[in-house]
Amino acid sequence: MESRLDSKDIVNENEDEFEKSFEQMISTLPKRKCWGNREDFYQYQGFWLYPTFLKGVVSAQQRFQAQPTDTIICSIPKTGTTWLKSLIFSIYTRTSFYDSTTPLLSKLPHEVVPFMDLYHADFPSYRDMGVPVLATHVPYSSLPRSIIDSGCKLVYICRNPKDSFVSLYHFNAAIRRSQNLQPPDLDEAFELFCEGVSMYGPYWDHVLGYWKASLEHPNKILFLKYEEMIEDSVLYVKKLAEFISCPFSSEEHQKEVPEKIVKMCSFENLSNLEVNKSEKVRMGVVQHKMYFRKGKVGDWKNCLTSEMAERLDRITHQKLSGSGLSL
């Protein structure tokens, strides 16, 4: 009798195919053991990733379908992703929820705005919240083709590399401590970061990719700096709302809705919510509370020596020279 496959079998078959070709592909990539972690970093299309994340990137490149109405929040880790997710989510949903009913009160910002590429083969469920906002740490040059072709909007956030490195270091240290492991060696982590070997690094290439694209497509890519947003958050919430085509009405301005969104999404407020103080673990190793450390500009002064700071400044200056961007 002729055997018939149902759609689940077909998905599984495709999944097996995908796993096989992924394993084959990854075995050909350069790899580095680093930041004291058990997993190696693999260099894919010029950037360093852990295999689990890499699988998501490759899968998204093959299967993710962006919609023209999507907004995609883009960043290299530790530059303000969690904050930007909560701000953009609040801007989009301001007429659906009262301050007291927003899902941000009971869910981590990473749950209300999921990553496009972290849970490969599960893309359809990503739009469960009914809000057309997704996020990604994928570098511009490796974005799925459909993101570029759909004409959807991208919002990129970057942060001073010294604070970004320090935040990343503490994040890794917190994960390791929660597993009763020694934190990574600071000097070793710093050396690797300077060499470009960090999550989704080289840091500078990641930033420059989006910076150059934002100059070419200013209507499609909004390029933001964490420090400037901290300085005048209300102004940036208004800019964001305009950019994603949800501008505030004059009545909303009068009622200080942008100010209320800033307050709701402030580090002070979010980091004190039970859900964000929780030790609940996501992605196998990250406790909710680890996304909220200090939320300050210039905290690198408490971690880096002046030699380290000067070295990072020198590299940044060299890498960004001629680009028109300063960090």
* Residues binding ligand PAP (CB under 6 A): 75, 77-83, 163, 167, 170, 265-267, 270, 291-295, 299
| CB distance 126 to 116 below 8 Å | yes
| Shortest separation between residue 308's beta carbon and ligand PAP, angstroms | 16
Calculate the alpha carbon distances from 249 to 194, 210, 262 in Å: 45, 30, 17
Select which of 137, 206, 217, 288 is catalytic. Answer: 137
Backbone angles phi and psi of 233, in degrees to 5 = -65, -35
Based on CB atoms, which residue is closest to ligand PAP, 99 or 149? 99
| Shortest separation between residue 259's beta carbon and ligand PAP, angstroms | 15
Based on CB atoms, which residue is closest to ligand PAP, 65 or 272? 272
Based on CB atoms, which residue is closest to ligand PAP, 63 or 293? 293
| Shortest separation between residue 269's beta carbon and ligand PAP, angstroms | 8
Label residues 77-92 b or e (16+ Cβ within 10 Å = b). Answer: bbbbbbbbbbbbbbbb
Distance CA 222, CA 12 (A): 38
What are the contacts of 94-101 at 24+ separation with CB within 8 A? 94/252, 94/257, 94/261, 99/260, 99/264
Residue labelled with tokens 């690094």: 201
| Shortest separation between residue 304's beta carbon and ligand PAP, angstroms | 13
Distance CA 243, CA 237 (A): 10
Based on CB atoms, which residue is closest to ligand PAP, 151 or 183? 183
Tokens of 33: 């053991």
Based on CB atoms, which residue is closest to ligand PAP, 268 or 307? 268
Based on CB atoms, which residue is closest to ligand PAP, 63 or 289? 289
Q: Can 217 be counted among the known catalytic residues?
A: no
- The H or E element containing residue 24 is helix 7-26
Residue labelled with tokens 């597993």: 179
Strands 31-33 and 40-44: antiparallel
| Shortest separation between residue 173's beta carbon and ligand PAP, angstroms | 11
Tokens of 82: 């969690």
| Shortest separation between residue 37's beta carbon and ligand PAP, angstroms | 15
Which active-site residues does the annotation give? Answer: 137
